[in-house]
Amino acid sequence: MSNSTSRPVVVITRRLPEAVERHATELFDARLNSSDTALTAEQLAEAMRSGDALLPTVSDAITSAILSVSPRRVKIVANFGVGYDNIDIATARSLGIVVTNTPDVLTDDTADLAMTLLLMAARRAGEGERHIRAGDWTGWGPTHMLGTSVSGKTLGILGLGRIGRAVARRAVEGFGMRVIYFDPPVPIGEARAYGASPRQSVEDVLRESDFVSLHMPASPENHHLINADRLALMPRHAILINTARGGVVDEPALAAALKSHVIAAAGLDVFEREPKVDPALITLENVVLLPHLGSATIETRVAMGERALSNLAAFFANAPPHDRVA
């Protein structure tokens, strides 16, 4: 903080829901981004020099160089998002910068969006929309635009954390699906409570599933986990859903697999180089593409903002922030 009487300066990198911005200005000397234009690397570095805290979003790359600016005033980076692969955590740790995220509050909405993609891809909903809007629909027909059933099928979940479990619950209770998963750290008894049965490997899940939904964090080990070799293990009728992070899928390999019908379809909410989407995917009818909408409801975005503010408030009250990840 600049001195003992002034309020902490919190630099907020993007527009947040109005209620959250109002609350931020009540709690802190909040520097808002009224234009909502993403800050450049230079502006983020300047924020590290001028603020006591930074509140970035998952689309701001908080690199080692940005964290290491000198002189630096920021002591806490309160990410607006559950994922924090946008922040160089190793550098933050080595510099003693606290990092927090916003778990729990977006679990249900993100799980809902995974199911949205699954249903859209299975029932060719995106394709059907385009069909009508293009004026191509000539009427109902017994063989017109046939999709595939969801109820009773097998859903494979890779990563049975909070969101993976919420998807499992929806699939089992809402659609009578059989759920299998791979996530070694999850105790088997616990997973069974979500109606999910363990498998020994990613490959086992891919071979056995009609649908596969990805819920692992972005990490060097998970980079391009779903590649051409693994896609080739999936049944030809299988559908891949990704609401985790774009980097866990090799996008050119997926586009090639969709084009040559190695798998039937995919539903993607996240991309490796957002907002860029591989042009090969854009030309394909058998993939549903959404612009990273997993947590995009007013209720959840307010809750995420409040969670970030409460982490900051705890930190500046010398209490441990609830969601500390570094």
- If one asks whether residue 83 binds ligand DGY (CB under 6 A), the answer comes out as yes
Please say whether the beta carbons of 210 and 238 come within 8 A: yes
Instruction: Compute CA distances 44 → 41, 77, 200, whole Å.
Output: 5, 12, 43
Among 13, 116, 222, 295, binds ligand DGY (CB under 6 A): 295
Query: In angstroms, what is the minimal distance from the CB of 96 to ligand DGY?
Result: 24
Query: Is residue 99 a contact point for ligand DGY (CB under 6 A)?
Result: no
Closest separation in Å from C-beta 33 to ligand DGY:
17
Binding span for ligand DGY by CB under 6 A among 78-86, 92-100, 138-146, 208-216: 78-86
Give me the catalytic one of 292, 301, 306, 307: 292
CA-to-CA distance for 320 and 197, rounded, in angstroms? 36
CA neighbours within 13 Å on the CB side: how many for 57? Answer: 18
Q: Is 103 in the site for ligand DGY (CB under 6 A)?
A: no
3-state secondary structure of 169: helix
Q: Which is nearer to ligand DGY, 9 or 114 (CB)?
A: 114
Q: Report the residue from 16, 58, 122, 179 that binds ligand DGY according to the rule CB under 6 A.
A: 58
Q: Token pair 């000539």 is at which residue?
A: 138
Instruction: Kindly state whether residue 255 participates in binding ligand DGY, applying the rule CB under 6 A.
Output: no
Whether 245 sits among the annotated catalytic residues: the reply is yes
Query: Helix (H, G, I), strand (E, B), or coil: what is residue 210?
Result: coil
22 is catalytic: no
Instruction: Measure CA 232 to chain center.
Output: 25
Cβ 188 vs Cβ 140: under 8 Å: no
The smaller minimum CB distance to ligand DGY, of residues 216 and 264, is found at: 216
Secondary structure, 3-state, 24-44: HHHHCEEECCCCCCCCCHHHH
Chosen residue from 156, 164, 247, 294 binding ligand DGY by CB under 6 A: 294
Residue 269 amino acid letter: D
Q: Reply yes or no on whether 42 is catalytic.
A: no
For 216, the enclosing helix (H) or strand (E) is none
Nearer Cβ to ligand DGY (313/325): 325
Pick the closer one to ligand DGY by CB: 190 or 274: 274
- Contacts with ligand DGY by CB under 6 A lie at 58, 81-83, 106, 294-295
Catalytic residue numbers, as ranges: 245, 274, 292
